[in-house]
Amino acid sequence: MTAHKTAQVEEYGAWLTEFLPIDYYERYRQYRWDIPLRRDYQRAAFEAGWLQPSWPREYGGRSLGLRDAMEIRLEAAMRSAPKLPNIAGPNVVAPGIRRFGTPEQIDRLLVPLLRGDEWWALGMSEPEAGSDFASLRTRAEIDGDLFRVNGHKIWTTQAHESRWCTLYARTDPDAPKHRGISCLILDLHSSGIRIEPIRMASVSDETFCEVFLDDVEVPAENLLGPLNGGWNVALSSLHHERQMIWIMNWVEIKRGLDSIRGTQDEDIYTELGSLLADAEALRATGYRALDNELAGRSSPEADIMKLLGSVTLQRVWELRAASEGPSSAGDPDLLFERQDALAATIYGGTSEVQRNIIAERLLGLPKG
Ligand SMILES: Cc1cc2nc3c(=O)[nH]c(=O)nc-3n(C[C@H](O)[C@H](O)[C@H](O)COP(=O)(O)OP(=O)(O)OC[C@H]3O[C@@H](n4cnc5c(N)ncnc54)[C@H](O)[C@@H]3O)c2cc1C
């Protein structure tokens, strides 16, 4: 990383120190689950301009360049700043609203989202359409000045606590699959919606839900982006998240590697060396992606970083468990890290699908 902290990073660091409770690091195990603290952090970061550092002041930023914004995110991750309580809102939905929203949508929705006053869910996956998102079956039929929606979504994180959902639905059943999808801004308080949390085996405060939609009426003005243009809204929203996700992965990988204690086992040393190399490869690729962005070039590294970051993180916590031996099974913190790292290789595109994309689109290999 940079040898000297920039003035902005210094300022953010001082602000964070001021914000955090005095015993934050001593009691981090409790604070990481503390939703009121995490809510306060989001609101305070929005007001101080640290939430989306590259955005203008009215949207929780300071109009900083991409490099400065990245250094601030890195500082936040290295100092284990509180995790945003509804991460999909600021990281996935907000960029989509800013890019595709009408002035009225931006005016009504963006600030409550960024302050964390209104939570958002992502209505993409369906029981028969996960990796193959373009096959989704939820239908939205135009009926006068509204859409009438019927269908079923699954794995909709935090839907039961959210006010809004970006709902992807089929609006043209005759068009090629990915050209007939639209993104609707769904008010989750509308009638005809049933939300059922799914019981989870893992420890998490990000509960999965199923969302059942039975003749739900969505006003036509809640269309986000062009009619039948939902595919691009989804890609663009997810791209924003991927630009930055490597930073969190890299910091977590370092944290995991630092936690592995001395061992005599040669296999563990070999894997440790391999993981240290992969962590550096991730960091170097992250900086290369940033250089491409700054130069206005397309950044094909995002898929590589998603795959490498999540797989490496998973290997790190498995190695930590192996280095501790059978006693590791009784360590609830380690169990949480292992489950969390497992999830990271699934959401936002599974590792197998990322490998397909890298093989076909980046390396130009023939389809298998
Ligand atoms: C923590 C977490 C949070 C999530 N939050 C949300 C959310 O908020 N909103 C939402 O809409 N979704 C969410 N998801 C769902 C996520 O997007 C899907 O799980 C993911 O897209 C995979 O879809 P699937 O589960 O249907 O698996 P499937 O697509 O059925 O895949 C099953 C297996 O087959 C493999 N596979 C599938 N296709 C191919 C292929 N072409 N080539 C090779 N292998 C293949 C996959 O890699 C996987 O191993 C979340 C998932 C997780 C884990």
Determine whether 241 is an active site residue. Answer: yes
For ligand 1, is residue 345 a contact (CB within 6 Å)?
Answer: no
CA nearest ligand 1 atom 51, residue: 347
pLDDT higher than 60, residue 1: no
CA nearest ligand 1 atom 20, residue: 130
Overall average pLDDT of the 94-116 stretch: 97
Q: Looking at ligand 1, which atom is closest to the CA of residue 153? A: 11
Q: Looking at ligand 1, which atom is closest to the CA of residue 128? A: 26
How far away, in angstroms, is 287 Cα from ligand 1 center?
Answer: 28
For ligand 1, is residue 158 a contact (CB within 6 Å)?
Answer: no
pLDDT category, 164, cuts 50, 70, 90?
A: very high
Question: How confident is the model over 37-81, as pLDDT tens digits?
Answer: 999 999 999 999 999 999 999 999 999 998 899 899 999 999 999
Higher pLDDT, 45 or 324: 45
Work out the angle between the directed axes of helices 230-258 and 66-78 (0-180°, nearest 10). 50
Catalytic residue among 241, 252, 301, 337: 241
pTM of the model: 0.94
pLDDT at 92: 93
For ligand 1, is residue 356 a contact (CB within 6 Å)?
Answer: yes
pLDDT at 368: 67
pLDDT higher than 60, residue 2: no
The chain-wide mean pLDDT, for the chain, equals 93
pLDDT higher than 80, residue 261: no
Distance from C-alpha of 108 to C-alpha of 93, rounded to nearest angstrom: 14
pLDDT at 3: 57
**Ordered domains of the chain (ranges, CATH):** 7-85 (no CATH), 118-227 (2.40.110.10), 232-363 (1.20.140.10)
